[in-house]
Chain A
Amino acid sequence: MKVFEPRALRFIAAAIVVCNGFFPALWILFTSLKTEAELVRKPISWWPHEATLDNYVRAFTDQPLLRYMGNSFAVALGSTVVSLVVATLAAYALARLNLKHRQLILTAIVASTMFPLVTLLVPIFETMRSLSLLNTYTALILPYTVLNLPVCTLVLVSFFQSIPRDLENAAMIDGCTRLGALWRVVLPLAAPGVFTAGILAFVNAWDEFLLALSLNSSGSMRTLPVGITLYQGEFTFPWPIISAALIVAIVPVAVLIALFQERVVGGLTQGGLKG
């Protein structure tokens, strides 16, 4: 295609992509600032004319939003850390050691993404129930770790493979053990990869809904995606309050991906293209 697109055309193209991506969040932001009276006025207004923050106050008082958020952070952070540790060890073995069934093991780990996790809902529910783990962080951290294992392992394997073997050998000649070399030499060099894998794992865990809904249903253990569906009463949908809660819930992850966009895109396409 021509390299010189007219500027106006480029601007329109950017505007389409940006509107498509931001409009829903923006609309929810507008809704969250509207009063009940303005919301039900016809024809509906786009821009909030009598902006109010009351909905944000009610979002925190009608439901324990902070608690939901805390739960989401605990579960997402917990499973991210566990995924990274487990995936780092596995990826190192797969990238560096002469293992007979290397390819088979890597395929097995990646293939577990292909398995519809929904179909395992029943046995996972049973397992957690018999281990008395329902309504605990562990009940979600364990399956989320498995959910994240494939992408973390793929990202890390390719990072480890890009680090020259000589560095490790030098460290081992200087008296490091193999694990010592992994900890002191390889991991610091692979830090960007670990970090990328970590962000992907965090976002995946933060977003998960079905298992959170099924395994942690008691009030104080709900995560954000589950808790946010509870603002709606049987016949009432307090949309401004739901919108305010959504905005509060979206901000942490939006900030995270805004700060590290290039890494996230890199990790996504790397994990995706190799899978």
Chain B
Amino acid sequence: MTPAPPLTWLDKLRDPSERTLGVLLLAPALLLLALIVVYPIGRLLFNSFYDLRLSGGSGARFVASENYALVLDDTDFWNAAKNTVLITLITVPGALAVGLGLAMLANLPFKRQWPVRLALLLPWALPLSFCGLIFAWFFHTEYGVVNDLLQRLGLADAAEPAMWLLRPGWAFTAICVAIIWKTSSFMALILLAGLQMIPKTLYEAAEVDGASRWQQFSQITVPMLMPSIIVALIFRTITALQTFDIPYTMTRGGPGNSTETLAMLIHKTTIDYLDLGYGSTLAVGMFLLSLCVTAVYLRRVGNAA
């Protein structure tokens, strides 16, 4: 921002204190943040030390670190943590690879831009829960289009269709495919904006120097695109750790709890079982986990840049 020009006497007359005005203008935003983010964080920490079950009828009971000890021994928690981290580790690079591919294709000089642009915007605007439902239908054992395609290509046996959503590993794969499809478009949009900012002259100069296509890609495109890639990766990692909608609508965490994520476990514990104390402790666990993953990840990404 450029420094403000000195205030004229007129400004001072009309507007005695810039600070007061600033406080007034920022107040609604900060109040909302306090109500929806800051107060809940405090409340969350407080809850996590209490036995707070709405279904039992007994009031809150202070249990110190008992909830935390339970979480550490809770196989459901570690299972959900494993699934969440795996989903992040698979779908973030997956979406980056697919998104980069889509962005490079979309960056070609087309006569009409809108079909390509709309094709990238539609998956972004589609609610995650709708995407889950659509892919659940895609991966349907009997009438799903995925099995149909595999059979037409001769990759699967029509007599024994793959039971995608009924087998743990395959359900997990199907969920990852759905997440990658849904999120790669947003990646592509951000990367496309980055691609369009790379000056054409760089490629022309490389061409003159006899650089191959691969050299142009690895020596010009990737380094120039790095800032956009990092922004996209950070956004995607944060949302991937919160994965809920797609597994919830595709499998409800099943079969068993093989595709249950941390967000789903917290939702089940608090909203379905009304165990707010333990649910809060799980949420603290999830928060710490996402903090670790984000920190490690950012360091890695930072080093790569």
Contact = CB atoms under 8 A, between A and B. Distances in A.
Interface of A: 1-3, 5, 9-10, 13-14, 16-22, 24-25, 27-28, 31, 39-40, 42-44, 46, 85-87, 89-90, 92-99, 102, 105, 108-109, 112-127, 142-143, 145-146, 149, 153, 161, 165, 169, 172-173, 177-178, 203, 206-210, 213-214, 217, 224-226, 228-229, 237, 239, 242-243, 246, 249-250, 253-254, 256-258, 261-262, 264-265, 268-269, 272-273, 275
B185 A21 contact: yes
Given A272-B231, A272-B232, A273-B190, A120 B37 contact: yes
30 contacts: A5-B109, A14-B116, A16-B105, A20-B119, A21-B185, A44-B148, A90-B26, A92-B25, A97-B25, A113-B238, A116-B287, A120-B41, A122-B266, A123-B44, A127-B40, A172-B14, A177-B15, A210-B267, A226-B129, A239-B143, A242-B133, A246-B130, A246-B134, A253-B125, A254-B125, A262-B117, A268-B186, A268-B189, A269-B193, A275-B231
A97 B22 contact: yes
Given A89-B26, A143-B36, A146-B37, A27 B138 contact: yes
A116 to B, nearest CB: 5
Contact of B33 (A9, A28, A149): A149
A154 to B, nearest CB: 12
Nearest to A129: B54
Contact of B290 (A1, A116, A142, A258): A116
Nearest to A146: B36
A142 B32 CA distance: 8
B252 to A, nearest CB: 10
B28 A126 contact: no
Contacts of A125: 270-271, 276
B102 A17 contact: yes
A90 B28 contact: yes
B173 interface: no
Contact of B213 (A1, A115, A173): A1
Contacts of B216: 1
A207 B189 contact: no
Contacts of B231: 272-273, 275
Q: Is the interface of A mostly helix, strand, loop or mixed?
A: helix
Contacts of B26: 89-90, 93-94, 105
B224 interface: no
B76 interface: no
Interface in B161-189: 181, 185-186, 189
Interface in B34-56: 35-37, 39-41, 43-44, 47
A225 B130 contact: yes
Contact of A31 (B105, B137, B244, B248): B137
A22 B119 contact: yes
B121 interface: yes
Nearest to A90: B29
A8 B137 CA distance: 33
Interface string B255-270: 0000000110011001
A14 B8 CA distance: 57
A93 B21 contact: yes
Contact of B110 (A14, A153, A169, A173): A14
Tell me the interface secondary structure of chain B in the complex.
helix
A122 B238 contact: no
A35 to B, nearest CB: 13
B40 A40 contact: no
B122 interface: yes
A16, A17, A121, A125 interface centre (most CB from chain B within 10 Å): A17
B214 to A, nearest CB: 11
Given A165-B5, A228-B133, A272-B232, 5 more contacts: A44-B145, A118-B266, A127-B35, A146-B33, A153-B29
B11 interface: yes
Contact of B280 (A14, A94, A123, A177): A123
Contacts of A20: 102, 119, 123, 181
B305 interface: no
Contacts of B121: 21, 257, 261, 264-265
B241 interface: yes
A17 B37 contact: no
A85 B283 contact: no
B283 A239 contact: no
A85 B235 CA distance: 25
Max chain B CB contacts within 10 Å: which of A93, A94, A115, A116?
Answer: A116
B83 to A, nearest CB: 14
Given A24-B181, A118-B266, A122-B283, A206 B127 contact: yes
A142 B133 contact: no
A124 B21 contact: no
Given A142-B32, A210-B245, A17 B120 contact: yes
Given A228-B133, A272-B232, A117 B242 contact: yes
B37 A21 contact: no
B19 interface: yes
B208 interface: no
Given A17-B105, A209-B245, A97 B18 contact: yes
B279 interface: yes
Q: Give the 4 A-B CB pairs with smallest separation, nearest first.
A: A21-B119, A123-B40, A93-B25, A269-B193
